[in-house]
Structure formats: C-alpha cells, structure tokens
Chains A and B, each alone.
Chain A
Amino acid sequence: MNDATVIDIHNVSKIYNPDTIPVHAVNNVHLHFERGEFTALVGPSGSGKTTLLNIIGGLDAPSEGQVIINGTDITSLKPNQLINFRLQNIGFVFQSYNLIPVLSARENVEFILLLQGVSKAQREQRVQDLMNAVGLGDKMEVRPAQLSGGQQQRVAVSRALASKPQFILADEPTANLDSRSAANLLDIMAQLNHDEGMTFIFSTHDARVIERARRVITLEDGRVVSDKAVGVPTKGGRV
C-alpha cells in the first residue's frame, strides 16, 4: 500500500447461506484503488459487482477478509462508527437516484453537509458550487419529482460530492438514463475526476461507462477475472 492508495481489499469473500447451500457472491477478492481512479466494475448479472461495491462502501460486511480505507479497517468498525465513517469518507450514487422527495435539489445536497455539522455559510457556498458544477444552478429550489432522471442523478452526484468524500461509489448510475443524459452525467463525473482528482468506482453493464473508464475490473462468479488499465491517465491518478 502506498500513499496514493485509498482502498485496499484483502481476501474479501461474501458467502450467503454458509450453513445450507453456500453461495459465493464475492470470492477471495484482492484489489486496491488509488486516489483519482475512474474505475468500472463490470460483469454479468450475479457476478458480485453490487455486493463488492456494498462491501467497499461499508453497507455490507464481508464473510472473510478486510477492507482498508485510508488506513482504517472498516470491517472492524461498530455499526455507528461505520455510519459516521461513511458520512465522512464515502459518497454514494444509486441507480434509482434515491433523493429525498420532500426536499428541493438544494436541500438534498445540503442535507449531507448538515449531517456533517458544516456551518451555514459554508454549506450555502458548497451547494451553490456543486449545483453549478453539475449544471443545475438554476434548479436549486426544484423538487426531485420536477426534474428529469438525468437531472436527478446529477443532484445525486452533487450530494455524493458534497461531503468531500475520499471516493464515490456509483451503482449502475446510468442504468435508468437515456443516452443523452447518461453521456452528460459521465461528462460531469469525468470532469470532476479530472479537475478535482475525485475517485470514482462504478458497477455497470453500460458500455458507455466502460468506454469512459480508465480501469476496468471484470468479475465473474464473484472472482476478479481481469483488471485492466485503459485509456489515458487522469489527473492525480493511475490508470
């Protein structure tokens, strides 16, 4: 592990029904991710992409192995510590956007900053900057229901970035988007990756995402079958 390493995964396995008919959703995976990566986890349905993403994000516990994020073994954290760790270190983008429908776009982004205890002035500035960065500066007070799928996902990206996380985990972020919205979203994420060195890890089936990725990890039956660096290096990161 070097200074640029953000995530270190050691011998991680996730076994469902260990006492009856064991199913290895993730099987003895070793990976490490460095700052500024733009990585796609690919593979057929049931290959373990989402499970691995959930384990990296601390949403699910591995049956075996360790996940070390910035030197912290998150598998040893207590549930409350883990929630706080996620709040401070990990940004999430979900397939179904998962915005809070009763809050405006601005409030959705601001909410995570409130959870972090950021001051009002800083919150306002950060939200404004992020909403501008995703091209929704004029939709701040609009509720999610009045936004298109692509716009909602851009708000979700803003929310994920708001807490200044170590990395962002995006589970099938373009799955519900039309090609234009998907391209637009990928442009934004690539830009943030390039300009701010933000680490993105996607799970995806989408060829458009895979095309833009700098590293593609292929999973099958819970195992890493290939891990390729593609394309040109991103700012501050590795390929």
Chain B
Amino acid sequence: MLFTIAWRNLWRHRTRSLAIIASVALGVWSGAFIVSLYYGMGNERVRIAIEEEVSHIQVHHPKFREDFEAAWNFRLDSLDEAMRKTPGIKAWSLRTTAQGMLANAAGSNGVQINGVDPAAEVATRKFDGFIVDGAYFDPEKRNQILIGKKLADKMKLTPGAKIVLTFLDPEQNIQAGAFRICGIYQSSNAPLDERNVYVKQSEFNELLDMPGRGNEAAVLLQDETFLPAVLTSLQQQLPGLQVESWRSISPETDLIISSLDISSLIIIVIIVLALAFGIINTMLMAVLERTREIGMLMAIGMTKPRLFSMVVLETIMLTMAGCPIGFGLAWTVNEWLSKNGLNLGNIAGNTMKDFGFGAIIYPDLPGFKVGQIIITVFITALLASVFPAWKALTMRPVEAIKR
C-alpha cells in the first residue's frame, strides 16, 4: 500500500507534479540528445579516421613512426601475400612515404609525400571521391600529383600547375622531382589535406631508388569486428614489422572516443543536479503540507523506516515518471536525425573539418547510455528524497497532529 499512497500522493497537486515530471522529461531529453550528438560526432570521427585517413590497420617498419623517413622500408611482396591469406580484409593499399618540401615559384610548404597505387587507394578509402577540382590519377600520364584543397588555397595552386617535390632518399641524399597537379582533393580533415600530397608509387619509388619496397600498408577490414583477429594474424605473419590498429595510429581519435563517456556523463550529472533542486523543493513542500497526516501515521504506528520509504518512493516515482517521456522525445528526434542528419556546417562553417569531424552528424544513443541516464536519474531521485524524508522523520507526532 506504500506504493499506492506514494503514487496517489503525486496527483494531489497535479499541476505541481506535472511541472516536475515535465522538467525531468526535458532534462532527460536534453541529456539524451547531447549524449547522442556526442556519440554521433564520435562515430563520425571514427568513420573518417578509418575510411578517409588511417584505415583499420597499418603496417610499418618498427622505426618508421619515429621520424617518418623513407629509409625505414620493407619489401612489399611479402605483405601482399600476407594480406591475401588473411580473412576479414576488404582492401589494402601499400604506400611509400617520405617527408619533403613542395615548392613552386611563389613559395614552398612542408608536406608528407605519399606514393600510392591509384587503384588500391580507391579500394581502401574511395580516394577518387574526394576530388573537388581536376581529376584523379590518369594511368596513362606520368608525374601527376594530387594536393589537398587547403594547401591549394594556401599556395594558390590549381590543376595543371607545376610544382617541385624535394625529399631525402633512404641514403639521405636529396632528391627532387617535378610534378603537375592533376587534381585537388578535400577530405573531412582539413589539417591532413594541407599536409598530404599523393603521387603514383611506381614513380616515387623510382625517384627514391627503392623498387618493390614501401613503408606503409593501410588495411581496410570488412567490419570492425574482424579487427582483433586480423591484427593478431598479421602480427604473427609479419614478425619484423609493426602492425597497429587505428587506435594506436590515430591516438587523438581514440582519445576523443574515450573522453566521450566521461564528458557525456558530466553533462548528464550537471543536468540532473539542476533538476535535483526542483525535486527537493517539491518534495519538501509535499512533506510539509502533510505534517498532520505524517503525525497521524506515526501516531497510529507507522515506523520511521516505513515513513522514510514512503517519501523516497514518492520522490522516485515523481522523478522516474519523466524518464519515459524524455526518452520518447529523444527517440523521436534521434529517429528523424538519424535519417536526415544534423548539418552543423551551416552553423560552424569549416570549423568541424578543421578538427577532423564531418559537417553532418547522425546522432546515436547507445543502449548502455540509456541505462546510464536512467541510473543517474534514479540516484538523483534517491539523493533528492533524503532531505524531505529526513524532515518527515524529525517530526514529533504530538506536535505534527496539531498542525
């Protein structure tokens, strides 16, 4: 009957209870929406990192990532063989990279030169889809180069323009090559666009004098779930090389994902803390209004634990009643946005791309986050009930009955 009393007590002041329920619903909705927006951004960042930047797995010489020099290379045929034998791999791209300088008559810029197999690069990260001016590599033409839009804008370069690349070969000799810009690409990560230029691997290897060798393999999996198995398999097959997942290659992406949990929890806690004061106030009013009734309950034999439970129960019911409404709202909005996306480009301009995020966010609310919000709201209700319940317990029946 404590449930019955607690539930019916909620509706003694319908408007007041509805106001609290509505504020909890809005709090839950806003918390759920912000969390789903965060996760949408996180998912988008991971998608970009995997599909447009580093792929699921990369293979390097163990010393390569210390200074990114061309000297740290390996034979490509053994890698090709390992990739073919490993299940779960969708595509791979073997690259030759070196740090260098891109220059024309007007100026110069430090770049990372990526020698790629045009077809493999398209299979691994749909690179041809990023071209915003000019065209992707033409198999019939030599000395073509793709540069990022941000670099092109900075150096006022357009397709057809000639540039010179200068770089160190594995013997630490300075080499140079003249290239003509065939296309300008734009990915979702503007800083990387400014830094990376792409040439054909065969031509780059000639200039470096390292035929049949490279220093990076990017591996795209059929699905993220294959990651642990493929990682282990490649590590076993390529003992002298460093095989790493995107989490190691792109630690900033991993950091973003890890921080999502904490930052979204902080936001939820801030929202429910704000709600807690409203709940405490309402429940305190509810208790003080019923002083005589509480006095009577204690007089006829209601023990303190039961009285405490009644107030706690009432607070929990009042608070939790807002949860389904809040989640219903969140679900409705998320359903619509998961199909249509939320275009933050209209608000943030290119800022999103400058930080490696896509402009369109598709909110995502994982199940465990729903559970986390419910638990947080429940704990808030529990804590918010303590003061009103304590207030009820401190009443003396003989005085309370007289009120």
Contacts from A to B (Cβ < 8 Å)? 54, 57, 59-60, 79-80, 83-84, 86-88, 92, 94, 96, 98, 100-103, 107, 110-112, 114-116, 159, 163
Contacts A83-B302, A101-B293 aside, 17 further interface pairs with beta carbons under 8 A come to A54-B398, A80-B303, A84-B301, A84-B303, A87-B300, A88-B301, A92-B299, A94-B401, A100-B5, A100-B293, A102-B5, A102-B9, A107-B4, A110-B1, A112-B301, A116-B301, A159-B300
- Do residues B397 and A59 form an inter-chain contact, with CB atoms below 8 A? yes
A107 shortest CB reach to chain B, Å? 7
Bound CA–CA A160/B384 (angstroms) = 34
B21 vs chain A, min Cβ distance (A) = 18
Expressed in whole angstroms, the Cα–Cα distance for A176 and B180 within the complex equals 103
Chain B residues, Cβ within 8 Å of A83: 298, 301-304
Chain B residues, Cβ within 8 Å of A100: 5, 293, 296-297
Residues of B whose CB lies within 8 Å of any CB of A are 1, 4-5, 8-9, 12, 292-293, 296-304, 306, 397-398, 401
Cα-based distance from A114 to B3 in the complex (angstroms): 13
Q: CB-CB < 8 A to B9: which residues of A?
A: 102
| In contact, B301 and A115 (Cβ under 8 angstroms) | yes
CB closest chain-B residue, reference A89: B301
**CA distance in complex: A92, B295 (Å):** 12
The smallest C-beta distance from B250 to any residue of chain A, in angstroms, reads 59
Please state if B1 and A114 are interface contacts (CB–CB under 8 Å).
Answer: yes
Chain A hits for B303, CB < 8 A: 80, 83-84, 115
Residues of A within 8 A of B296 (CB): 92, 94, 98, 100
Across the A-B interface, the 10 shortest Cβ-Cβ residue pairs: A87-B301, A102-B8, A98-B296, A59-B398, A60-B398, A86-B301, A54-B398, A59-B397, A114-B1, A83-B303
Residues in B whose Cβ lies below 8 Å from that of A87: 300-302
Chain B residues within an 8 Å CB radius of A112 = 300-301
* CA gap between A88 and B4 in the complex, in Å: 23
Q: Which residue of B lies closest to A112 (CB)?
A: B300
17 contacts between A and B (CB under 8 A): A59-B299, A59-B401, A80-B304, A86-B300, A87-B301, A87-B302, A88-B301, A98-B293, A102-B5, A107-B4, A110-B1, A111-B1, A112-B300, A115-B302, A115-B303, A115-B306, A163-B301
Known: A60-B398, A101-B12. A92 touches B300 (CB 8 A): yes
CA distance A108 to B35 in the complex (A): 46
Complex Cα gap A83–B1 (Å): 19
Q: Is the CB of A86 within 8 A of B299?
A: yes
Report the nearest A residue to B303, measured CB to CB.
A83
Contacts of A84 in B (CB 8 A): 301, 303
Chain B proximity of A62: nearest CB distance (Å) = 12
Q: Which residues of B contact A80 (CB under 8 A)?
A: 303-304
Interface centre among B293, B296, B300, B401 (most CB of A within 10 A): B300
CB distance from B306 to the nearest CB of A (A): 7
Nearest CB in chain A to that of B11: its residue: A102
Please give the distance in Å from A229's CB to the nearest CB on chain B.
Answer: 29
Report the Cα distance A59→B296, complex, angstroms. 10
- Residue of B whose beta carbon sits closest to that of A79: B304
